[in-house]
Structure 1
Amino acid sequence: MFRDAVLQRAPNKPKLMVTLDLESSETDRERDIICFYKQANIDWSRPFEARLRGDVALGDGVTRHFFSLVLEKLSCGLHLPLDNCGGRTLIFVGEEDHRVPSTSGTLVDGDLFRVVGRIIGHSFLNRGPLLCGLSNCLLPLICGDKLATPVFEMKDCPDTDITDIVFLLESERDLTEVEKGEVNQLAMSWDLPMVTIQNRRWLAERVLYHGVIGRRLQQIAQIRAGLKDTGVLQMLKQRPDLATVLFPRGAEEVLEPEFVLQRVLWPEPDSDEEDNIEVLCKATSFLRAYIESASSSELRQLVQFWTGWTVVPEQMTVEVEADLTFPVASTCFTTLKIPGRYETFPEFSNSLKAAVATTQFGFGRV
């Protein structure tokens, strides 16, 4: 209801557009995405359109592809070496459903988490994919719910050196002098008192709190600022319980074959020719078998190839065409076109996997 109310005020506003060059490098495209979301004084509720330079595809499918690409980079990291680690720059770290923002000072200094907040809010307003697996302990802070007390657990801390100290403090045995030195060194670096017999339990809680939340207050503030820029923070202030809608659990994103099959519109034979019916039935049976045997990850990749993102629509159409060489997706119309030339399921499966793998390089076309 909130999203619809925001978008109802936007149809007559100038269109917001972004263009990605498919012939440029991965890092250059990531720079373009960051530059786009770093723009100041933008009304993110405006009608949005994404375009791909180097691909003839147009329409809603391209926009869906854009949001899937951007949210994947938030989840998996950037190729841009922003934090001088020499590899992929991780924006969020930790286990699934316990992920927290990176403590990289470079990302904070570059105001990158404000970009993250804008991306999350912008994708939400356009009914796109969302950032999954964020730790629940961060949600009250993002909402600004001052009455709620963050509840965190050991899994929320991705730093093993900190969790090792917490385990030491929570243990029942006496600490050695070496262990006391390690605890005190960490405590003093965070302006906490040195360990004593009386404060061990309290100190364990403070170390864990600082390791999970205290080191990430700037990142959380920037995410809130980005959500405020898109207008979505207002929704969270009014209804903090909707934070679980904006930041769903990773387990909720598991796709089941039955759920996908329920949305598929299968083709019906439009000819009485026995050969055509046989080709149609064989091709569709191969696709059904592929969906039934696919993992959740493979299903998400298939749905993204088919529709442009991993959000499963109400209907996904299948067409069988005899003159196709490889499967092709018309994402604007959520239509998957599969060749009718396959004689065996392994041949069909390998061909579909090869086509699906092209999504990250272009727009679902070989």
Structure 2
Amino acid sequence: MLYKRNLLQQKEDEPMLKMCLDMKEDIEDQEARIITFYKVHNADWARPLQCRLEGDAATGEGVKRHFLSMMMTKLHKGFKGNFGHGTSTLLFEGQVDHLIPCTSQVLVQSDLFKMAGRMIGHSFLHGGPPLTGISPAVLHVLLGGSPETATLVLEDVADIDIRETIQLLSLADCSKKANGERGDNELTEHQRGAVNDLALSWDLPVLTETNQAWLLQSLLLHAVLRRTSQQIKQLRKGLQESMLWPLLEARPDVVDVVFPRQSKAECSAQMVLNYIIWPGEGDNEDDDGCPVAIKCRIAGYLRQFVETVTEDKRKQLVKF
């Protein structure tokens, strides 16, 4: 993309950002290094990136891609370390394509969502993988849209207990409309009590005969966006610090590239093949004296592998 190419070219002569991971360390220690790296204030994330894996002989661009892939996997699936609310730390929760920021205030107080924004922007600038599966409602607000104009669905509610309570209103509302507003599917006393308890806990009015549809949308709004407003603000701040925000502001259409849906983040054979620079007839021998014919034969084996393996295997391949 022209934006990141120009940005990286402007910074190519500046001192490198250096990241070193000791592969012999425990996972928690490696994660601590990653978190420390991305919690540095006022870092210029467009500067050249140099990654080194201690205990591994690998060098070059493959190490950088491996690091960025590992970092984004941690962001997507969670860190092993405990930040005070369980045995691990999950920054985004919910189901695929409806992920929302975790509502834990401990994570907000630790500025971990600002860190997440820096990670996302840094990975994008240096050719790493994107963060997939974020709820469209969260992205709408992240890009400056009003929470009231976001399209919310039950699948956006990450907490299953809360979702089931809100769903009571959804089912009753659908039944009421289907039966000509006769209200043939009234909630039981226990169900009304569960809805009212949830509404009161969020300072919303209790259920009445006339506010069912309004209360349904208000509960969805609070469950998905009101409780995550600070997290979204931190995420936006991290994107600003990573220099990705100007692009998102100027070109909102690229949000599908930066935050693709899981279904669009497939790793097809053609996608992988398009990113490989294949040896050609005009190539010279490598420094180690490898003839072009041998390089072409090896490249043929690689092409056959990419075209025939499963998508999971291809994803493992592009990580390094």
Q: What is the TM-score normalised by the length of structure 2? A: 0.83
Give yes or no for the alignment of 1:189 onto 2:189. no
| Structure 1 pair 290–8 and aligned structure 2 pair: CA distance change class (3 A) | closer
- Find the counterpart in structure 2 of residue 301 from structure 1: 316
Instruction: For residue 82 of structure 1, give the secondary structure of its aligned residue in structure 2.
Output: coil
Partner Cα distance (1:256, 1:4) in 2 = 25
Judge conservation of contact 2:279–2:299 (CA < 8 Å) in 1.
no
- Find the counterpart in structure 1 of residue 287 from structure 2: none
Partner Cα distance (2:83, 2:70) in 1 = 19
Instruction: After TM superposition, give the deviation of residue 80 of structure 1 in Å.
Output: 0.8
- Find the counterpart in structure 2 of residue 251 from structure 1: 263
Instruction: For residue 231 of structure 1, give the secondary structure of its aligned residue in structure 2.
Output: coil
Mapping for residues 105-144 of structure 1, pairs under 5 Å: 105-144=105-144
Instruction: After TM superposition, give the deviation of residue 54 of structure 1 in Å.
Output: 2.0
| Structure 1 pair 46–263 and aligned structure 2 pair: CA distance change class (3 A) | closer
Which one has more relative contact order, counting CA pairs under 8 Å at least 6 apart? 2
- Find the counterpart in structure 1 of residue 179 from structure 2: none
Give the AA of the match of 2:192.
Answer: K
Partner Cα distance (1:254, 1:260) in 2 = 10
Q: What is the TM-score normalised by the length of structure 1? A: 0.74
Partner Cα distance (1:10, 1:18) in 2 = 17
Give the AA of the match of 2:141.
Answer: L
Instruction: After TM superposition, give the deviation of residue 120 of structure 1 in Å.
Output: 0.3
- Find the counterpart in structure 1 of residue 151 from structure 2: 151
- Find the counterpart in structure 2 of residue 91 from structure 1: 91
Judge conservation of contact 2:148–2:221 (CA < 8 Å) in 1.
no
Instruction: After TM superposition, give the deviation of residue 298 of structure 1 in Å.
Output: 2.1
Judge conservation of contact 1:140–1:240 (CA < 8 Å) in 2.
no
Instruction: For residue 195 of structure 1, give the secondary structure of its aligned residue in structure 2.
Output: coil
Give the AA of the match of 1:295.
Answer: T
Instruction: For residue 231 of structure 2, give the secondary structure of its aligned residue in structure 1.
Output: helix
Structure 2 gaps of 5+ residues are 177-184, 282-292
Share of identical aligned residues, percent?
A: 39
Give yes or no for the alignment of 1:221 onto 2:222. no
Judge conservation of contact 2:17–2:50 (CA < 8 Å) in 1.
yes
1:62-84: CA deviations, max 9, x gaps? 11111011011111111112243
Give yes or no for the alignment of 1:24 onto 2:19. no
- Find the counterpart in structure 2 of residue 40 from structure 1: 41
| Structure 1 pair 68–176 and aligned structure 2 pair: CA distance change class (3 A) | same
Instruction: After TM superposition, give the deviation of residue 297 of structure 1 in Å.
Output: 1.7
Instruction: After TM superposition, give the deviation of residue 50 of structure 1 in Å.
Output: 1.0
| Structure 1 pair 6–147 and aligned structure 2 pair: CA distance change class (3 A) | farther
Instruction: For residue 43 of structure 2, give the secondary structure of its aligned residue in structure 1.
Output: coil
1:104-132: CA deviations, max 9, x gaps? 22211211011100000011111211101
| Structure 1 pair 298–99 and aligned structure 2 pair: CA distance change class (3 A) | same
Detail structure 1 runs of 4+ shifted over 6 Å in the superposition.
Answer: 280-285
Instruction: After TM superposition, give the deviation of residue 13 of structure 1 in Å.
Output: 1.6
Judge conservation of contact 2:154–2:167 (CA < 8 Å) in 1.
no
Give the AA of the match of 2:85.
Answer: N
Which deviates further from its counterpart, 105-114 or 140-149?
140-149
1:195-217: CA deviations, max 9, x gaps? 10100110001101111111111
Judge conservation of contact 1:114–1:225 (CA < 8 Å) in 2.
yes
Which deviates further from its counterpart, 168-177 or 115-124?
168-177
Judge conservation of contact 2:147–2:221 (CA < 8 Å) in 1.
no
The number of aligned residues is 294
Which deviates further from its counterpart, 186-195 or 176-185?
176-185
Instruction: After TM superposition, give the deviation of residue 294 of structure 1 in Å.
Output: 3.1
Which deviates further from its counterpart, 110-119 or 45-54?
45-54
| Structure 1 pair 284–46 and aligned structure 2 pair: CA distance change class (3 A) | closer
| Structure 1 pair 4–256 and aligned structure 2 pair: CA distance change class (3 A) | closer
RMSD between superposed Cα atoms in Å: 2.7
Give the AA of the match of 1:113.
Answer: F
Judge conservation of contact 1:19–1:51 (CA < 8 Å) in 2.
yes
Corresponding residue to 1:179 among 181, 185, 191:
191
Give the AA of the match of 1:183.
Answer: V
Instruction: After TM superposition, give the deviation of residue 288 of structure 1 in Å.
Output: 6.6
